[in-house]
Amino acid sequence: MSHPTSQPEAPVPEAPDPKVPAPEAPASEAPVFEAFVPAASVPGDLGPEALIPVPEVAPGTAGPPCAYARLRAEAPVVKAQLPNGEAGWLLSRYEDVRAAFADPRLVRPLLSAWPPREGEEAPPPCLPTFLEMTGAHHERVRRTVLPMFGRRQLAFMEPRIRATAGELVDAMVAGADGGTADLVASYAEPLPLRVLCETVGLPYEDRESYLPHTLALLGASGLSMQEVLAALYALQDYAGELISRKERDGDGADYIGLLLARARRPDSEITRDDVVSFVVTMLMAGYKTNIQHTGNALLTLLNHPEQLRTLREAPERTGTAVEELLRYVPLMNAINILVATEDLTLHGQHIRAGDAVVPVPASANRDPAAFAEPDRLDLTRTPNAHVAFGHGPHACTGGHLTRMQLTIAIQVLLERLPGIELAVPAESIDWDESTPLRAPARLPVRW
């Protein structure tokens, strides 16, 4: 077993501007890989009245389901039966998905309010997450929070993430069994949580209190509505208790502390409840999705050692590679529910007020109308205007933090362990398929 090596640190590149084209790499150098997901099927009838199941991810893959290729070509707007039994309109083309996220006529409902229930069946109200806030309320909160997650504001986290990643690699090497280790348990899983805790101000030692509820919500398609709401209310209760603790002990310099201090100002645009919503949003959007995507991204690179070598030799290219990994590997395969507030027509389909509309970013990011040869992974692809983080006013607040974290995770791994490779055949890797966020359950590596 070789020891980790140290190389000069490479700065985290800024995400490429999707509007600025770059020269194509020579064919011999372009890191291009063919998609290996087997073709999936959709029902033969894709007429205007068709009701199809939501396409499923093939076992042992991160997705996206190949059935979306046919939907993009033949039925870009089609009614599907969602996992909870409700019906919704699936949008599979890039242009439609991007437009839907920015359309003010389509709003994300409260988790406790969809599907709608009345009378005694109506659950108690819950606070909206940032994804569910609308109108002037959302604009006020976004004006306060969004600058905190800009590239310049997050610069203070770069050395901290790099140090944390280095510590995890060192611990993985020290605890290696027979020269092999599990990259998921040792690296891909602990890194996102530690980064989230340090950035936001979540106590790492409280993880047994909030993670079960977070994981329950991310796997909500397999739970009853009562179980989903119980997890949501418990997570909000935890966030409220954490904030009370910080108010009692002193706000601190983390993001929760900064937001609490702003909420107390007479002219503040946010309230204490908005800070509670911030905590819940960060846990729901910034934890498990980053773990799963990091594992999938690392597996994708390990499956292509020549491309891994290219990044090791030119770490300044990692930023461009990360954008392609975000496009090619679904950040998540979960259902994104929007609800129409008025009647509208799209591709001849009449969508009524109250109907659920489901844009599918994983399908949009493979649309040949938006990306040349979309089923090939090209780590030099520019421009790359993917919609992994959504689009419009509700685009993911933490997108830059996710980019920074994945960029550093790849760079540090290749700096410390330049010879890293899979220790088992890729087809023998066990997968976690318990939630829509499909990813390797274990990733045995050696170096």
- In Å, the largest CA–CA distance within the chain is 66
pLDDT at 334: 61
Query: Which residues on adjacent β-strands are paired with residue 421?
Result: 446
More confident residue, 2 or 310: 310
**Per-residue pLDDT tens over the stretch 140-190:** 999 999 999 999 999 999 999 999 999 999 999 999 988 899 999 999 999
Bridge-based pairing of strands 439-440 and 431-432 is: antiparallel
Q: At residue 256, does pLDDT exceed 70?
A: yes
Whole-angstrom distance, CA of residue 301 vs CA of residue 306: 9
What is the H or E stretch that residue 116 is in?
none
pLDDT at 17: 45
Averaged pLDDT, 49-64: 89
Q: At residue 40, does pLDDT exceed 70?
A: no
pTM of the model: 0.86
Q: At residue 29, does pLDDT exceed 90?
A: no
- The three-state (H, E, C) secondary structure of 189-231, written as one string: CHHHHHHHHHHHHCCHHHHHHHHHHHHHHHCHHHCCHHHHHHH
- At 7, the pLDDT band (50, 70, 90 cuts) reads very low
With a CB cutoff of 8 Å and minimum separation 6, the contacts of 179 are 1, 446, 447
| Cα distances (Å, whole numbers) of residue 109 to 124, 134, 141 | 15, 10, 18
DSSP-assigned states of every residue in 370-426: TSSSTTEEETT--S----TT--GGGS-TTHHHHHHHHHHHHHHHHHH-TT-EESS-G
Question: Is residue 268 packed enough to be buried (19+ CB in 10 Å), middle (13-18) or exposed (0-12)?
Answer: middle
More confident residue, 393 or 418: 418
The answer to whether 304 touches 392, Cβ cutoff 8 Å, is no
Could you identify the residue written with the tokens 């994981």? 215
**Per-residue pLDDT tens over the stretch 364-416:** 999 999 999 999 999 999 999 999 999 998 889 899 999 999 999 999 999 99
The answer to whether 351 touches 358, Cβ cutoff 8 Å, is no
- At 38, the pLDDT band (50, 70, 90 cuts) reads very low
Q: At residue 350, does pLDDT exceed 60?
A: yes
Q: Characterise 301 by phi-psi region: left (phi > 0), alpha (psi -120 to 50), beta (else).
A: alpha
Q: At residue 424, does pLDDT exceed 80?
A: yes
Q: At residue 122, does pLDDT exceed 90?
A: no
pLDDT at 117: 72
Q: At residue 35, does pLDDT exceed 50?
A: no
User: What distance lies between CA 295 and its chain's CA centroid?
Assistant: 12
Q: What is the DSSP letter of 186?
A: I
pLDDT at 12: 46
Whole-angstrom distance, CA of residue 253 vs CA of residue 122: 39
pLDDT at 305: 87
pLDDT at 381: 95
Q: At residue 63, does pLDDT exceed 90?
A: no
Q: At residue 310, does pLDDT exceed 60?
A: yes
pLDDT, the chain, mean: 86
Averaged pLDDT, 61-89: 92
Q: At residue 251, does pLDDT exceed 80?
A: no
Whole-angstrom distance, CA of residue 360 vs CA of residue 57: 13
Structure token pair of residue 424: 């088992």
pLDDT at 221: 53
- At 331, the pLDDT band (50, 70, 90 cuts) reads confident
**Per-residue pLDDT tens over the stretch 187-235:** 999 999 999 999 999 999 999 999 999 888 876 556 677 888 888 899 9
CB atoms within 10 A of CB 159: 11
Q: At residue 307, does pLDDT exceed 60?
A: yes
